[in-house]
Chains A and B, each alone.
Chain A
Amino acid sequence: MSDASIAHRPPVRSHDWGSDTARARVKRRYMYDRILQGLGLGSIGIAVVLLGILLSSLISTGYPAFMTTKVTLEVFVDPKSVKPENPGKGRYRKITHDAFYKLFPDAKRSDRRHLKKIISAGAPFNVRRHVLANPEVIGKTIKLTVPLSDPYDQLYKGVIPREIEALSPGQKELGAVLKERGLLSVKNGQTLLTLPVLVDDNNVDADEPEDGEYGPVLLAAMRKLFPRASPTILREVFASPSFKKIKAEVVADPSLVGRTTEFTLPVSTPFDSLHRTGEAKVLNPRFGTAKVFTWFDSLKERELISSHFSFELFTNADSRFPEQAGLLGAIAGSFFSLLVCFFLSFVAGIAAAIYLEEFAPKNKLTDLIEVNINNLAAVPSVVFGLLGLAVFLGLFGLPRSSPLVGGMVLSLMTLPTIIIATRAALKAVPPSIREAALGVGASKHQVITHHVLPLAMPGILTGTIIGLAQALGETAPLLLIGMNAFIPSIDNIGLLEAATALPTQIFSWADSPERGFVSRTSAAILILLGFLFIMNATAIYLRQKFERRW
């Protein structure tokens, strides 16, 4: 066939790609493509944003805990209170509080109850420690900075306000609606609410109106006006003056019982202030009385309050008082556990991996071991805790809460990770190296210890560090073996002493109700994440620096 005949043949048009329907179809098909792409990008975006929220919420709540607020006291170490021959048993609480009261000559004796709450309840211990370290100060006046107690620390940092909203948003809305409907009026500086009330004879007996239950009566009246609002919102509108007033009116005229009448009653203080001033605030209940703010401000004016970097966070043991609580005990506990875990799982992991990779014959037993290791890696961590509890504590009788047991349990969990990583690293060493070494007369063991193992070491170390990083963050098994002990002193640190670890400390702090522990918890998490970051960065560095491609 000649070229000319092809050129003259009419084109076969089975389908019109240029038609509108075809174009629309192509467009639609590409739209689906873009939708899928958008979903993917959206999912990644959501994941990244969530990570961002997680980290930023931790940082924003945690950073105040890295600063501590202190007040400077001039403590007279009275030899009458602290005997020079026995300084350990002195009355440090007294001399500390006296030093603090001295700053407020105007404060009345009865105010001292509130006053002493400004400084940390642990402050006497700080004074005691100082005096014990320097016994020559007995009889002299020393200048010392002691931490403020948690609420004032938080107040100084601006974490908690002096006054809080007395009403919930729903209650504020209720106040606005009452105003709108013209039910509220002001008389003698007191807001009054006018509403029809059915004095139900179930609650109030016409013969004995003094003993009636007026709370339910008023609540029922409110519910009639706002059938959809929750009772908790409605109840707060009235206070005891309201009940007194309606009672007085009903007692004066018992015929009101059983009928619906309009009453004009005073409302509770928050609603009163909401109606008259537009906002309702009350003293933050963390502070006993409003007077404390004058004292606190005067301390600030005299520049006795200062903010320092909180070394205590790293050098103190745990404490019931958030401003005194530190992480040293937890860090030490985690360190010892990881040490035990490292020694056990590194040696055993490498040995097991070498055997399985280099020596093991292919038989049922080695198959079983392999399946086992893969499954162990996926066993829930809390189950390892149960094992530790039943075997290490129950059967062997090892000491509860000790880093030794913690490390042993953690090593059972890191072992599979290390074995799997080591096997991968051993596999990556090319057979030519083994063959060359065998060829010059090395025994199989010598090939491995002299050639294969050194070459695989970076990979093994990387896997080990990653395994240890996982172990550092593990909480549940440590909880079960009791490594969430409250250890308020750092004198007894050791493999067999009761201890706590970083993640379990985070758990205990997260459970504590004081506001200060929220930011301490976040700070502890940031420190834990810092350790994890360092470990993982080391692993990545090792991998990139020493990894060889064959």
Chain B
Amino acid sequence: MVGYLFIAVIAIALAGFFVGSAKAGRASGGRLADLHSLPGFHGGFIAAWVGIPSLIIILAWLLFQGTFIDALLMNSLPEEKVSGLKKAELDLLISQIKSAAGGTVFGEPEPFVLAAAEQYNTWYAISRWAMVAVVLAISIAALLYTRSKISRRFRARHRVERVLDGVMIFCSIAAILTTFGIVMSLFVEAMRFFDRVSPLEFFFGLNWEPQIPIRDGQVTAGGAFGAIPVFVGTLQIAFLAMLVATPLGLFSAIYLTEYASNGFRKVIKPVLEVLAGIPTVVYGFFAVLVVAPAMREFGANIGIEIAPNSAIAAGAVMGIMLIPFVSSLSDDAITAVPDAMRDGSYGLGATKGETIVRVLLPAALPGIMGGILLATSRAIGETMIVVMAAGIIATLTLNPLEPVTTVTVQIVTLLIGDSEFDNPKTLAAFALGLVLFVVTLCLNVIAQRIVQKYREAYE
């Protein structure tokens, strides 16, 4: 239905385009130069006025009709059946009505449920047809009105360009809207969480057991939301990852920029890029399939017991993933050091190694630090590797051989298969998400500042 309506609107807009350019052509009386704008702009003017408002109406209609009809449904239910129901029971009733409306009836529903279901379907049908009627009327009216405006002197190009400007500005603002949406959704849900669980407990508590019973009256029975073990686990895995990625990435970058021949660089750089292009779910599977068992066996051979989902396995694999990231950012930083410094060092008789260690690295240090910070922010926000390879239970430990859990693991496990936002368990995921967002944002901003300052210093 909606698909056909879309096609219809696009067809009317197309028709408007041809009508407009044809009318402009006739208005010119055969001499195109007399027109203020080319016929195509007249056509575009009509198409824009037909298409854009109609599409906006369709989208808005689709977004809000559900909420609106739900409210109508809620009000139409017989008072004596609804009063005294708890929210969960009411939700159950509504979903029962909806599934009955969709044709699936479980058991023997009460007659008022069936009536409501029928009413619900009628409302939807009304809403659908009303939408079609409104949209078609508006687009045809727009076509006729804009067609009447077309004349020889009509400044269609300016109008079209102004519409284009509007579209472009809207698209640029989409980026801000996204950030705003992220902040608002995280913030609102996190506030709902902090209504139920005190921020003090969340930020300083040592016990994380979010698997609370969902049944009524049992909420207080279990569930501890002290996130310190989760934060510690996250930092621990990120630290282990950076322990792997920093030296490997930095030394690779040094070799590639200062020692490697052109041919070698041309072959090796894309190979390292491949490491960066592999999806993280693949790394997660690699950790489970190869790295964790290998570490376990190695540990057993030297007499250490390593948990199958140890922090060290997840951290090491994450480190592999970050090697190209660190390497390419360090590469940029080292290449950006002016040749004059290099030449000066060589001129004083320093070896290549001395030049690198005493001149290039100190000069490139801010850039490298920025890169490492960016990589750390990645490590903290990385999800799939830890979801597959790290633990779920939050234990407060610094031993890398034991399983720990991370913020991202908790977000995913708390939300998988759950979309009701009315218990602390799911809301906790948003609070963790807020912390994650703020921390990574700070790291990124600091890193970008450092890199920028340093770039300015050499420009």
Contact = CB atoms under 8 A, between A and B. Distances in A.
A381 B279 contact: no
B353 to A, nearest CB: 3
Which of A359, A368, A372, A386: most chain B CB closer than 10 A? A386
Nearest to A476: B383
A412 interface: yes
Contact of B251 (A42, A356, A445): A42
A47 B290 contact: no
B275 interface: yes
A48 B268 contact: yes
A35 B352 CA distance: 11
A475 B430 CA distance: 18
A46 B248 contact: yes
A222 B27 CA distance: 107
Interface in B394-428: 408, 411-412, 415-417, 419, 421
B430 A528 contact: no
Contacts of A48: 268, 271
B171 A348 contact: yes
Interface string A470-490: 001111100110101000000
A443 B249 CA distance: 49
A373 to B, nearest CB: 5
Nearest to A48: B271
A322 to B, nearest CB: 15
Q: Give the bracket for the number of chain B residues in contact with chain A.
A: 35 or more
A348 B66 contact: no
Contacts of B255: 37, 39-41, 43-44
B246 to A, nearest CB: 10
B350 to A, nearest CB: 9
Nearest to A348: B171
Contacts of B380: 380
Contacts of B408: 380, 382, 476
Interface in B177-230: 178-179, 181-182, 185-186, 188-189
A288 B353 CA distance: 65
B430 A35 contact: no
A40 to B, nearest CB: 3
A391 B259 CA distance: 51
Which of B178, B181, B378: most chain A CB closer than 10 A? B178
Interface stretch (A72-80, A270-278, A502-510): A502-510
B286 A57 contact: yes
Nearest to A52: B271
Contact of A33 (B173, B324, B354, B382): B354
A134 interface: no
Judged by DSSP, the binding face of A is helix
Nearest to B408: A382
B436 interface: yes
B172 A360 contact: yes
B126 interface: no
Nearest to A521: B285
Given A348-B171, A352-B168, A386 B185 contact: yes
Judged by DSSP, the binding face of B is helix
B275 A47 contact: yes
Given A351-B167, A351-B168, A391-B185, A378 B280 contact: no
B277 A51 contact: no
Contacts of B356: 36
B320 interface: yes
B181 A391 contact: yes
B268 to A, nearest CB: 6
B186 A376 contact: no
A46 B430 CA distance: 38
Contact of B278 (A43, A54, A394, A397): A54
A355 B353 CA distance: 47
Interface string B350-382: 011110110000000000000000100110111
Interface string B427-449: 00110010011001100110010
A393 interface: yes
B291 to A, nearest CB: 9
Interface in A351-369: 351-352, 354-356, 359-360, 366, 368-369
Contacts of B327: 47
Contacts of B419: 389, 393-394, 400, 482
Nearest to B275: A51
Interface stretch (B79-87, B100-108, B142-150, B157-165): B157-165
Interface in A377-412: 378-384, 386-387, 389-391, 393-394, 396-397, 400, 412
B323 A32 contact: no
A412 B357 CA distance: 42
Contacts of B178: 376, 387, 412, 415
Q: Give the bracket for the number of chain A residues in contact with chain B.
A: 35 or more
A245 to B, nearest CB: 32
B281 A473 contact: yes
Contact of A474 (B279, B352, B436): B279
Contacts of A54: 278, 282-283, 286, 290, 320
Given A29-B351, A51-B275, A382 B63 contact: no
Given A47-B252, A383-B186, A529-B282, A374 B429 contact: no
Contacts of A372: 175-176, 179
A493 to B, nearest CB: 15
A103 interface: no
Nearest to A377: B444
Contact of B353 (A33, A356, A389): A33
B254 interface: yes
B284 interface: yes
Interface string A210-253: 00000000000000000000000000000000000000000000
A507 B268 contact: no
Nearest to B301: A169
B384 interface: yes
Given A373-B175, A374-B448, A415-B174, A43 B354 contact: no
Interface string B305-343: 000000000000000100110010000000000000000
A373 B178 CA distance: 10
Given A351-B167, A351-B168, 20 more contacts: A36-B356, A43-B251, A44-B252, A44-B268, A47-B248, A51-B275, A352-B175, A355-B171, A376-B179, A380-B408, A387-B185, A412-B178, A415-B174, A475-B384, A476-B280, A480-B415, A480-B416, A482-B417, A484-B416, A532-B279
The 5 lowest CB-CB distance pairs between A and B, nearest first, are: A40-B255, A380-B381, A473-B279, A33-B353, A390-B185
Interface of A: 29-30, 32-37, 39-44, 46-48, 50-51, 53-54, 57-58, 61, 170, 347-349, 351-352, 354-356, 359-360, 366, 368-369, 372-376, 378-384, 386-387, 389-391, 393-394, 396-397, 400, 412, 415-416, 419, 443, 445, 469, 472-476, 479-480, 482, 484, 503, 506-507, 510, 518, 521-522, 525, 528-529, 532, 536
21 contacts: A33-B351, A33-B354, A36-B353, A41-B255, A43-B251, A48-B268, A53-B290, A54-B282, A57-B286, A378-B440, A380-B440, A382-B412, A386-B182, A386-B430, A396-B63, A443-B157, A475-B279, A476-B280, A506-B282, A506-B285, A507-B387
